[in-house]
Amino acid sequence: MTKYRIGMYPGTFDPITNGHIDIVKRGLRLVDKLIIGVATNPSKNPMFSLEERVEMVERELRPLAKGIGVDFEVKQFDELLMHFAEKVEASVIIRGLRAVADFEYEFQMTGMNYQINPDIETVFLMADPRYQTIASKLVKEVAIYGGEISPFVPATIAKEVKKKVSQR
């Protein structure tokens, strides 16, 4: 009997980018269920509230999961990643890598996570070259300074970012 594999893709998704969506599309092929963990992470000074980010992630990603036929859930969390992974019974954490700097950080995190729970594997997916330079932080900066962000995020997200910027 094949084991039902639950994967988790954590992040702050402030906002969700085309790079995040690419990793999710590919990650959906690796698991039977994918849980997107939207982290609170107040140290990143988010532009969108936790509730707004959860709604954006749900709206943008549910159709992908449905199209592939994989169970899908979006959950918010405000705790240690490995404790959250244990709660949702994930056996694999999916992480995207854009550059060497990402690898160094993720390498350290994976080592710490392994010490906490060696039964949960971390899988790294390299970003599609079209998305390797995209980061939520940079998307927000470009938007704040009046630049065009539509190449980096879905159209609905671009509108929401522009609206937030105009309200500041």
Tell me the catalytic residues: 20, 44, 98, 136
Q: Which amino acid is at 26?
A: R
Specify the amino acid at residue 100.
V
Which residue in 27, 89, 15 sits closest to 54, CA to CA? 15
d(CA 83, CA 88): 9
Residues 40, 13 contacting (CB under 8 angstroms) = no
Cβ–Cβ contacts within 10 Å for residue 78, how many?
11
Distance CA 59, CA 17 (A): 13
d(CA 46, CA 25): 24
